[in-house]
Amino acid sequence: MLERLETVAFGQLFDLGNVGTVTFVPAGHIIGAAIVDLQLGHGSDQRRLVFSGDLGLHNARLPGPPKTIPSPDYLIMESTYGDRSRADDGDRTERLFDIVDRTIRRRGKVIIRRLQSAEPRNYWHGSTIWSKAAG
């Protein structure tokens, strides 16, 4: 079964034969999270169906902001926090770097609780950037 899987890069148009095409674009939620952009049918019968799970913040540095997909015919979204507004409380990555920096200066320890299976990768990627910048 694994031999039937193919890697498709973000932004790469993937042909689904006579069904249409699919493109994956960054959702900005966690590293690797994608919005699915399906172009179904051909010509005047073509419809654009967009599916997304959680989206990241537009001003986030890690893993980057979500991309916008213009004018879908149908939009399907998973919404864990659909009944709440998420306040824009600044760049969370910068806040994390500030906390790590202050803690290291006072010779303390930073413990990052694992919230979701892929989420710590965002922090480890950020800490690599922070470590290289620090020196």
Q: What is the pLDDT of residues 22-75, one digit of tens each?
A: 999 988 877 778 899 999 998 888 999 999 877 776 666 667 778 888 899 999
Q: Is residue 82 one of the residues assigned to a domain? A: no
Print the domain residue range for 126: 92-134
Together in a domain, 71 and 99: no
Degrees, nearest 5: CA angle 57-74-82: 40
**How many other CB atoms sit within 10 Å of the CB of residue 60?**
17
Task: Name residue 70's beta-bridge partners.
Answer: none
Nearest to 121 by CA among 29, 13, 11, 16: 29
Q: Is residue 59 one of the residues assigned to a domain? A: yes
**Overall number of domains in the chain:** 2
Percent share of the chain, pLDDT over 90: 24
pLDDT at 126: 46
Q: Is residue 85 one of the residues assigned to a domain? A: no
Least confident of 31-40, 88-97, 114-123: 114-123
